[in-house]
Amino acid sequence: MSATSSPDLKVEPLVSDHDRAGFSCGVESLDRYLKTQASQDQRRKANGVFVLIDPQQPNTVLGYYTLCATALPQGEVPAVLRKLIPRYPLVSATLLGRLAIASGQQKTGLGALLLADAVRRAYASAASVGSSMLVVDAFGERAAGFYEAHGFLRLPESLRLVLPMATIEKLTLSAS
């Protein structure tokens, strides 16, 4: 199944009916998180956990991501982006903490589908909770390349990438 073959795919908050035990993306720490920690984090409001499902098989998790609030020291923000953010010592941000696609579904466009949903949710919540950018800590060079291909800017000498809310707003307005 690909992202284009089933337009009815849905992203929704994680609930107890979702089969977390059956999920495997090939990265042990991402698999373990969904199986053992995600529900607890969500219950404690430590992370928002969102899963991608096909409504025809609503318990099967095709992929997931997490969002939570974070802050970056002003000095970590690239100079080119500083004009887009407030000049506080800590810059409010939203952290896209994890993003994973089930092994059998990888390279089908589902990662981009989940990322787009995460970007939309982060942007929508920024007006309520205050967030100047979306931040992601990539799990390696391949993942960093995925985020860079979707407009994220890499912080110097790291696997941390950022996408300013001002950029998201421009993308949102141009898509309307």
pTM beyond 0.85: yes
* pLDDT at res. 176: 55
Residue 93's CATH number: 3.40.630.30
Look at the chain and report how many structural domains it folds into.
Answer: 1
One digit per residue, the tens of pLDDT, for the chain of length 176 reads: 334 445 699 999 999 999 999 999 999 999 999 999 999 999 999 999 999 999 999 999 999 999 999 998 887 777 777 776 777 788 899 999 999 999 999 999 999 999 999 999 999 999 899 899 999 999 899 999 999 999 999 988 889 999 999 888 887 766 65
Specify which residues 160 forms β-bridges with. 137
Q: What is the 3-state secondary structure (H, E, C) of the chain?
A: CCCCCCCCCEEEECCCCCECCCCCCCCHHHHHHHHHHHHHHHHCCCCEEEEEEECCECCECCEEEEEEEEEEEHHHCCHHHHCCCCCCCEEEEEEEEEEEECHHHCCCCHHHHHHHHHHHHHHHHHHHHCCCEEEEECCCHHHHHHHHHCCCEECCCCCEEEEEHHHHHHHHHHHC
Q: Is residue 3 part of a domain?
A: no
The residue range of the domain holding 61 is 10-175
Nearest to 22 by CA among 65, 55, 51: 51
* pLDDT at res. 50: 98
Q: Is residue 41 part of a domain?
A: yes
* pLDDT at res. 87: 77
Q: Is residue 147 part of a domain?
A: yes
